Amino acid sequence: MTTANHSSPDNHPPDELLIGYSAGSLPLSQALCISAHLEHCNTCQRKLQRLNLVGSALMQQLQPSPTSARLKSSILDQLDNLIEEQTPPPSGTDSSVPRCLRQFIRGGYHNLNWKRVSKDISRIELCRDNNGARVELLKIRPGGAVATHTHLGDEYTVVLEGSFSDEKGLYQRGDFLRRDHNDRHTPVATHDRECICLAVSEGPIQLTGFFSRLLNPFIRRTHAG
C-alpha cells in the first residue's frame, strides 16, 4: 500500500519534534514521548545536545537585560535557607519504566488497572494534555492485532516493552513512530511476548475495516469524553 510518508523513516522522532523539545515549545504530551524515546536512544540524545547548544548560543547573543541590585541581594540572602527537595523514588518503582512515566506508573506495568477493549488489546489512560491529546498505555497480546485504522489527528507511539510491526516495519523497545491521517496501519504484536506502548493521540482513530468501521461512533465518543 502506498501512502504519503510524513513520518520519520527510521523509528526516531523527526527533527522538527526534537527541535521543539529542545526549544521547550512542544506540547507536554509529545515531549513525554520524546523523553521516553531519548532514554533508549544515544543518537537522538546526541542530536538533542547539539540542538541545546544552539539555544544556548542564541541566548548568549541576546542583548543582556540588567538586573537590579535588590534582586541579587534578595537571592543571595536566601541561599542559606534553601534545602533541596529530595524526592526519593517511590518504593517499588520498576526500573524498566521510563523515568518520565514514573509520575503515572508507581509500580510496574502489571499493577495498573488495565481496561480490556478487545480480544487482543487493553488500555489505560494516564492523563490528558491541554490540547486535548490523550496519553495512554496500550497492551497488545502476543501476536494480537489492532484493527486497521487511520487517524483524524496525529498519533505518537513509543514502544516500551516487546515489539510490533505494521505495514512499514518492525518497532522495538524505545522506537518512536508518528502517524497522521495519511497513514492507514494495522499494528500486530510479535508472537514471543506482549507489547506495551505509550500512545499519544490528538484525535480519535478511524477504523477502516468493514465491520470495525461500525465501531467508529463509539470511539469518537470515548475520545471526546
Binding-site ranges for other proteins (CB under 8 A)? 9, 15-16, 19-20, 22-26, 28-29, 31-32, 35, 38-39, 42, 45-72, 74-76, 78-79, 82, 84, 99-100, 102-103, 127-130, 135
| 75 vs 214, beta carbon nearer other proteins | 75
If the CB atoms of residues 79 and 224 are measured against other proteins, the closer one turns out to be: 79
Q: Which is nearer to other proteins, 103 or 182 (CB)?
A: 103
Helix (H) or strand (E) holding 54: helix 42-60
Taking the least distance from each CB to other proteins, the nearer of 64 and 217 is 64
Helix 28-38 to helix 15-23 angle (10° resolution) is 110
Closer residue to other proteins, CB minimum distance, 77 or 119: 77
Q: How far is the CB of 32 from other proteins (least distance, A)?
A: 6
The answer to whether residues 22 and 55 touch, using CB atoms and an 8 Å cutoff, is yes
C-alpha cell at 83: 534545602
C-alpha to C-alpha distance for 192 and 194, rounded to whole angstroms? 7
Q: Which amino acid is at 194?
A: E
Q: State the minimum distance, in angstroms, from the CB of residue 208 to other proteins.
A: 28
Smallest gap from residue 99 Cβ to other proteins (A): 5
DSSP 3-state of 126 = strand
Compute the chain's Rg from CA coordinates. 21
DSSP state of 92: T
Q: What's the length of the chain? A: 225
Distances (CA, A) of 83 to 77, 175, 178: 14, 38, 41
Paired strand residues for 169: 166
- Smallest distance from other proteins to CB 10, Å: 8
Report the residue number, 58 or 215, with the smaller CB distance to other proteins.
Answer: 58
Residue 14 Cβ vs other proteins, minimum distance, rounded to whole Å: 10
Provide the minimum distance between the beta carbon of 118 and other proteins in the complex, in angstroms, as a whole number.
Answer: 27
Contacts of 204 (CB under 8 A, 6+ apart): 152, 153, 216, 219, 220, 222, 223, 224
